[in-house]
A and B are shown apart, each in its own frame.
Chain A
């Protein structure tokens, strides 16, 4: 079956620090990969995605590259802000006519950024 493993949190950084949140996966077939973000008191929202090997997803200064050889999709940002404090979820879906949104999520990583 499919599974997603994220680095243990919580992660605490100072403003303008470099961020990496590791994500590795196990999947049957050829998955599409996603990062979702959950700000305090809100639901999850899609941050970025990549649908095939070597694709780079990017949004709001965050980036992640689909690495098939290492089955990884690490999230990075060069300079974090206090407003980036949130919970980050790595997720995957395997293509197919009956996938219908059966995303498999990692356990989530709490990020706190201090001024």
Chain B
């Protein structure tokens, strides 16, 4: 099973460039989310979605856009990259009734903004 697949694994951008981090899951999960991981700060929620056509902001949404046109895909867009967005990004998914707290994570995308 593929699970949660993220691409690319590594990316270097210049300040002001745009890019999209891709995330796809094959588990028919309704819930998908994006986190960023920074040293000493754990994981912080950027955006999440509880189903196709429904998205909402997390803790640190500024500078990022998302959309959810299908159940499988949840891309994260950086419209104008800034050095503060240098981080490791994780996509995660789960069943809609998420009170169990179990998220399935991708392997991460390491982004460097120069």
Q: Which residues of A contact B (CB under 8 A)?
A: 4, 32, 34, 41-46, 49, 89, 91-93, 95-96, 99-103, 105-108
Contact = CB atoms under 8 A, between A and B. Distances in A.
Interface of B: 4, 31, 33, 40-45, 48, 50, 58, 90, 92, 94, 96, 98-103, 105-108
B42 A106 contact: yes
Contact of B101 (A41, A103, A106, A108): A103
B50 A100 contact: yes
Contacts of B58: 102
B94 A101 contact: yes
A4 B41 CA distance: 11
Contacts of B96: 100
Contact of B105 (A4, A45, A92, A95): A45
Given A43-B4, A44-B90, 8 more contacts: A42-B108, A43-B92, A44-B92, A93-B99, A99-B99, A100-B98, A101-B101, A103-B45
Nearest to A87: B37
B107 A43 contact: yes
B90 to A, nearest CB: 6
A89 B43 contact: yes
11 contacts: A4-B42, A43-B90, A44-B92, A46-B103, A49-B100, A89-B42, A101-B94, A103-B103, A105-B42, A107-B40, A108-B42
Nearest to A31: B101
A83 to B, nearest CB: 18
Contacts of A42: 107-108
Contact of B99 (A44, A46, A96, A106): A96
